[in-house]
Chain A
Amino acid sequence: MARQLSGKKVKLQSSDAKEFDVAIEFAQQSVTIKNMIEDLPDGEDNAIPLPNVTAAILEKIIAYCDYHWHHPMPITDEKKDERRTDDIIPWDRDFCNVPQQTLFELILAANFLDIKPLLDLCCKTVANALKACKDPEDIRKYLNIKNDFTPEEEEAARKENEWCLEK
């Protein structure tokens, strides 16, 4: 798909004070940034501060917006399809092949920046990872959760959920 960038750029500033010069088309995939740009007085060249997003995460998000601007995905109208977790494209899968801490930082940033496809993607990835866990201990390891059940309580909770094993 031969789409042409306008050449117009905006400056985005991460929480750790790093500035990124970004094509406006990429930046506008964030509804939050799009609205901020519209509110900027004309001709202003100041950087848009993003206090909730670190440079490392912002860099990844810009790469995401870059790729997806060049490779637009078909828009799905079906609410059911939005929640499908088995249709992640290879580039997105590689993009999400990061430590879970980073995934959650991406969720936080995508939510703040209001980039729905990215939020969907990261949530689906986390969901798939949790689905792959075979038991609560696996989940605790993945999420770094501390077990605060006594052995008896854990057993009682397990009994409540024995139906999971029934076919």
Chain B
Amino acid sequence: MESAAKRRKLTSSAGVEKAADEGRDSEAFVVSGAHPYGVKPWGNFFFDGGKREDAERDRTEGLGLFAMLEDDLILDVFVYLDSATTVANLGMASKMMWVFTSEEEIWKELCLNEFEGDWRFEANWRRTYVKRRAPQFEFPNDPEDIPFFPKPFYSDILFHSWQCATIDLSKFTGTDNVPRRSNLSFEDFVKEYGIPNKPVIITDLVPKWPAFKEWTREGLIEKYGDIEFQIGRASQKLKDYMAYVTAPPREDTPLYLFDNDFGEKAPEMLKEYEPPVYFQEDYFKLIKGGDRPSFRWILVGPPRSGSTFHKDPNYTSAWNGLIYGAKKWILYPPDVVPPGCFPSEDGFNVTTSISVTEWFVNFYKETKKKDAFKPYECVQKPGELLFIPHAWWHQALNFEESVAVTQNVVDRQNLVNVADFLKKKKKQDLWNKFSTELEASDPDLWQWLQKELEVKEKAAKAAAGPTRSN
């Protein structure tokens, strides 16, 4: 018996407006088709020639009392519905509610809250949740099918969310101005990049790692597939996570595998790569066991995963070696705040709730303006190792499925800044431990450090000006 309900495929753009870009400035970006449920930004309303009252009425009828709230507040309230059945029932109340309750983030939250890492991704988060909860259930349709004829409506939030989840990232990957070096001696590295504290990409180290050959997607699954790695606030077997990565997920902020314990979970991995010769000095090594701050991570992520702008903690510098994939980086020097960022007073914490993709969609164009400060940018390719100088702002976007290793170091170039920072912290345990070990293991270095700290202190006082007597 054929259902009379018409079906529209999510990927079809038949007869649908390209109005996504209408009314905006000419920096129109290509979106892959139109929103599957016909959601449009309010900017289109003017061009669509409809009546405001009609759109408002549709919204009130479709959302009921929720229409009193702005769309983002509506989605915030939905977070309190920690029941998939309720979300599903709400979604069946009206077509507009169906669209609102279909937001990936809602089902992702339900899934992670109820099942942590114990799920296997299936096309989208709704299906993933259902598959885990009711494994025998068979969906009557394909994931791209919609069980009813959609009723287009306006929502900036929903449109923007879909846009960020689907926008073609390659348009952000043009600029590359970080120098590439090979055959670089340790002394030259220190002289040209370590001391001046500037970024550089080394091209001839990573290809020598066994990991460069071994850590393919299949290789990793075969060797480490059953080990549980950190994926944010849960852990998951690598083989399950890879199923998610390769789906690929269609989200603004996909889950990112970011594990600082991989050396303990999978010690074999440590034999398959080697910290570069430029970074083998790391004074934090002196801090024993669990007190040493996290210093090495394995990073695995699908397209669109990444890290928003931040400075690495404790004034450490870092290196990042890409095994496969492609990463877009943007780097700003310590004293230049990137567009769209609002750092805390100590400059180390950033309050920004936007995702990496959102930053590119909304703020990347700021960097192209005539008088704007031009940051370092690069597209890191497999085999390339990026040096991230201490205290630099940096942001990374995987625009392909990517695997990388990264470590943070305290070496002679940043030791003074690190010590100065730690001494000023409220909690002194790290400084106490570090200073004790450093003084014991290298008294000469310790003396040198004390002198440098004094110089730094004097300079800071001089810069602050005469103190007021009050």
Residues on B with C-beta less than 8 A from A147 are: 93-94
Would A148 and B137 count as touching, CB distance under 8 A?
A: no
Contact A145/B83 with A163-B137, A166-B136 known, Cβ cut-off 8 Å: no
Stretch in B40-48, B141-149, B164-172, B340-348 touching the partner: B141-149
Would A157 and B92 count as touching, CB distance under 8 A?
A: yes
Interface string of A137-154 (1 = CB under 8 A from B): 011101111111110111
Would B86 and A136 count as touching, CB distance under 8 A?
A: no
Would B98 and A123 count as touching, CB distance under 8 A?
A: no
Would A156 and B80 count as touching, CB distance under 8 A?
A: no
Contact A160/B139 with A127-B81, A136-B89, A149-B94 known, Cβ cut-off 8 Å: yes
Interface string of B315-348 (1 = CB under 8 A from A): 0000000000000000000000000000000000
Would B134 and A149 count as touching, CB distance under 8 A?
A: no
Say if the beta carbon of B85 comes within 8 Å of chain A: yes
Would B81 and A157 count as touching, CB distance under 8 A?
A: no
Residues on B with C-beta less than 8 A from A83 are: 79-80, 82
Shortest CB distance B104–A (Å): 16
Contacting residues of chain A (107-156) with chain B, CB-CB under 8 angstroms: 107-108, 111, 123-124, 126-127, 130-131, 133, 135-136, 138-140, 142-150, 152-156
Would A160 and B141 count as touching, CB distance under 8 A?
A: yes
Contact A131/B149 with A104-B66, A147-B93, A163-B137 known, Cβ cut-off 8 Å: no
Residues on B with C-beta less than 8 A from A153 are: 5, 147-149
Would A156 and B93 count as touching, CB distance under 8 A?
A: no
Say if the beta carbon of A19 comes within 8 Å of chain B: no
In the bound complex, CA of A31 to CA of B256 (Å): 34
Shortest CB distance A156–B (Å): 4
Residues on A with C-beta less than 8 A from B77 are: 107, 123, 126-127
Would A127 and B66 count as touching, CB distance under 8 A?
A: no
In the bound complex, CA of A158 to CA of B85 (Å): 12
Residues on B with C-beta less than 8 A from A159 are: 140, 147
Would A145 and B61 count as touching, CB distance under 8 A?
A: yes
Of the residues B61, B82, B84, B148, contact of A85 by C-beta under 8 Å: B82
Nearest CB to that of A164 among chain B residues? B85
In the bound complex, CA of A147 to CA of B96 (Å): 10
Residues on A with C-beta less than 8 A from B95 are: 148-149
Say if the beta carbon of A100 comes within 8 Å of chain B: yes
Shortest CB distance A118–B (Å): 13
Shortest CB distance A9–B (Å): 30
Say if the beta carbon of B88 comes within 8 Å of chain A: yes
The interface residues of chain A, by DSSP majority, are classed as: helix
Residues on A with C-beta less than 8 A from B92 are: 136, 149, 154, 157-158, 161
Say if the beta carbon of B200 comes within 8 Å of chain A: no
In the bound complex, CA of A75 to CA of B137 (Å): 42
Residues on A with C-beta less than 8 A from B79 are: 83, 123
Say if the beta carbon of B69 comes within 8 Å of chain A: yes
Residues on A with C-beta less than 8 A from B76 are: 123
In the bound complex, CA of A29 to CA of B85 (Å): 35
Residues on A with C-beta less than 8 A from B147 are: 153, 156-157, 159-160
Residues on B with C-beta less than 8 A from A164 are: 84-85, 88-89
Would B73 and A160 count as touching, CB distance under 8 A?
A: no
Say if the beta carbon of B65 comes within 8 Å of chain A: yes
Interface string of B380-415 (1 = CB under 8 A from A): 000000000000000000000000000000000000
In the bound complex, CA of A145 to CA of B3 (Å): 25
**Taking each of A101, A150, A160, which has the highest tally of chain B beta carbons within 10 Å of its own beta carbon?**
A160
Nearest CB to that of B79 among chain A residues? A83
Would A131 and B86 count as touching, CB distance under 8 A?
A: yes
Interface string of A93-112 (1 = CB under 8 A from B): 00000001100110110010
Contact A145/B94 with A104-B68, A133-B86, A163-B133 known, Cβ cut-off 8 Å: yes
Say if the beta carbon of A162 comes within 8 Å of chain B: yes
Would B62 and A162 count as touching, CB distance under 8 A?
A: no
**Taking each of B62, B91, B136, B148, which has the highest tally of chain A beta carbons within 10 Å of its own beta carbon?**
B148
In the bound complex, CA of A161 to CA of B98 (Å): 11
Of the residues B64, B69, B98, contact of A157 by C-beta under 8 Å: B98
Contact A143/B66 with A123-B77, A152-B3 known, Cβ cut-off 8 Å: yes
In the bound complex, CA of A142 to CA of B94 (Å): 13
In the bound complex, CA of A83 to CA of B114 (Å): 13
Would A145 and B140 count as touching, CB distance under 8 A?
A: no
In the bound complex, CA of A150 to CA of B150 (Å): 12
Say if the beta carbon of B130 comes within 8 Å of chain A: yes
Of the residues A85, A111, A139, A150, contact of B93 by C-beta under 8 Å: A139
Residues on A with C-beta less than 8 A from B63 are: 143, 145
Of the residues B91, B140, B141, B151, contact of A148 by C-beta under 8 Å: B151
Query: What would 4 more interface pairs be, CB under 8 Å, given A111-B73, A135-B89, A143-B65?
Result: A136-B93, A145-B63, A146-B61, A157-B98
11 contacts between A and B (CB under 8 A): A83-B80, A127-B80, A127-B82, A130-B86, A135-B89, A136-B90, A145-B64, A145-B93, A147-B94, A149-B148, A156-B148
